[in-house]
Amino acid sequence: MTDLFDDTANYVLDLASPQRLQIIFKLLEKSTTPTKLAKEIGATKQEVHRNFTRLEDSGLIEKKVDGNYTLTTFGRTICTQVPSVVFISQNRKYFEKHHFGEVPHKFQMRCGQLANSTYVKGVSKVLEQWKNIYKNSDEYIYEVLSEVPLDLIEPVVKRIKKGVKFSYIFSESAVVPKGRKALLKKLGFDKLMEKGLIERKMEKNVQTVIVLNEKEACVMFPTLDGESDISAMFYSDDAMFHEWCLDYFRYCWYGSDVFKESKLKE
């Protein structure tokens, strides 16, 4: 086991250089030579050649017969793991007060898909971006919710009336504002459900909140004490970010129970 850790530590050292990381991700895009890449990234030929040699010795890259370098299978696999470290390290202050909550380990291992995102802080900014996700929807809106901001009910109903399908999961202990039932009745929510435009389910306890349409998504992780937190979000229209959120929504959806309005209290 000690030898295994020693080998792994050596590979981590091989990657412990901004330029070497830059090289392997450039090679992920296309094969090239050290000379061409040095010119592309504005570095000296000697420095780039030295880093190519180190990456080749570690088995991360290899030279082809045409003189171009490419990633090995090992190198390509490493590239899939680096974004997870990038996401956590870029947002380490956030994760000093938050964690992944009930999100299964298999999704935590894929958190690198969330790296290409924007951090939105402040309840007003979060709700504004939330509304924009509604506004930009053409096909569907999916949500996993721990609370129901009253200001968001009317905007989502407007999109549903335009033919957008709305599927959501509520926590049994969801924070429900007073006046929600009256507003839903006024907006014709029940009729929209009868038309099949709304589907809803329920989970025992929602900690991680997600909102997405067919093009963009956001995720809000809970605080260290397990409380949901909608005062900050990670938002993106990146395809990989969206895939993570969509997969997580589907995971929650198929594991949820029948919606019971009686469990919600205003």
**pTM for the structure as a whole:** 0.84
Using pLDDT thresholds of 50, 70 and 90, give the confidence band for residue 72: very high
Q: Tens of pLDDT along 76-99? A: 988 888 889 889 999 999 999 999
Half-sphere exposure of 139 (CA within 13 A, CB side): 5
| Nearest CA-CA partner of 259 in 182, 188, 189 | 189
Here the tokens at position 127 are 């709700």
Domains and CATH numbers, the chain: 2-81 (1.10.10.10), 92-263 (3.30.870.10)
Using pLDDT thresholds of 50, 70 and 90, give the confidence band for residue 177: confident
Q: How far is CA 242 from CA 69, 187, 202, 212, 234, in A?
A: 32, 30, 22, 8, 11
Which residues are bridge partners to 232 per DSSP? Answer: 121
Q: Tens of pLDDT along 162-175? A: 999 999 999 998 87
Determine how many CB atoms are found less than 10 A away from the CB of residue 117: 22
| Nearest CA-CA partner of 174 in 199, 205, 129 | 205
Cα three-residue angle 255-177-256, rounded to 5 degrees: 5
pLDDT greater than 70 at residue 3: no
Kindly give the residue spans of alpha helices, DSSP state H, lying in 63-174. Answer: 73-90, 105-108, 123-135, 153-161
Q: Tens of pLDDT along 18-50? A: 899 999 999 999 999 999 999 999 999 999 999
CA distance between the termini of the chain:
56
